[in-house]
Amino acid sequence: MSDATAAEPVTGDEYTFDDVSVVMGTYNEEAAIGTVLDDIDRVTDGRASVVCVDGSSDRTAEIARDHGARVIEQEPQGYGVAVRAAVLAADRPVVVTTDCDDTYPMDRLPDFLDRINDGYDVVSGDRLYWGAETMPGFNRLGNRAFAAVASALTGRRIHDTTTGMRAYRQELVQKIEWTENTGLSAELLLRPLMREYDVCELPIEYGERAGETTLDPIQGGLAIGKSIVKVCLEERLR
């Protein structure tokens, strides 16, 4: 079984943070959204654009706008619906997804951009490489199981199927039809991987969550597992 990192890709355009859109779906994240946006601004010298698709009932959208983010408001319809809208709304050549709960290391944005400039189409953050000790044990076990199933179905070694921090070339994001909701994070990796795009995984740190999660680990886990199987079977039948 080969690793998710493909053969060395061919380099192309040299992108800077002026070419980057950082996007996220937000739902009642007023405890963390300001910190995340401050970190993005600091790391990119204010050059990256930020898009938030928000369904909050708290001050998340207000705080995001105060920090210069573009906010698209929609009725809450689930994680994937919000993130898909954010990804497709990005207007720059490189799209970086992240979560708004301060768990992902914005200081690593330059490393993601470097990998895109190395020629990769997708750069996927691997939270489990260093153990992800801040992640609840049940979630950590589930994520390892998702990666094992996805690896078996794709024939490529995948370490973290559901990470929320990735970088993509915009043309890839626009070309593929995304169908999943709770399982969108897995789909955003699996469809490009199975279509032979150049994909690599990048070990990242994973921090303590700020605020409460709204995802039920049992129901959410079942939905993600179902999405992984569905997406892989669909791609095999293309």
For residue 151, is it within any domain?
yes
Assign 13 a pLDDT band (cuts: 50, 70, 90).
confident
Instruction: Give 190-221 pLDDT, tens digit per residue.
Output: 999 999 999 999 999 998 876 555 667 889 99
Q: What is the average pLDDT across 32-50?
A: 98
For residue 9, is it within any domain?
no
For residue 180, is it within any domain?
yes
For residue 2, is it within any domain?
no
For residue 10, is it within any domain?
no
Of 118-122, 163-167, 190-194, 206-210, minimum mean pLDDT range: 206-210
Spatial neighbors of 218 by CB under 8 A, at least 6 apart, are: none
Say if residue 10's pLDDT is above 80: no
| 50, 25 contact by CB (below 8 A) | no
| 204, 108 contact by CB (below 8 A) | yes
Say if residue 160's pLDDT is above 60: yes
Res 106: pLDDT? 98
The CATH number given to whatever domain includes residue 113 is 3.90.550.10
For residue 8, is it within any domain?
no
Provide the 10 A C-beta neighbour count for residue 14: 9
Nearest to 128 by CA among 232, 194, 202: 202
Residue 185's Cβ-side half-sphere holds a number of Cα atoms within 13 Å equal to 26
For residue 30, is it within any domain?
yes
Q: Give the pTM.
A: 0.93
**CA 26 to CA 134: how far, in whole Å?**
21
Say if residue 7's pLDDT is above 60: no
Residue 28 domain boundaries: 19-236
For residue 166, is it within any domain?
yes
**Angle between helical axes of 217-236 and 137-154 (0-180°, round to 10):** 10
Say which residue the tokens 């790391």 belong to.
43
Domain count, the chain: 1
Instruction: Give 24-37 pLDDT, tens digit per residue.
Output: 999 999 999 999 99
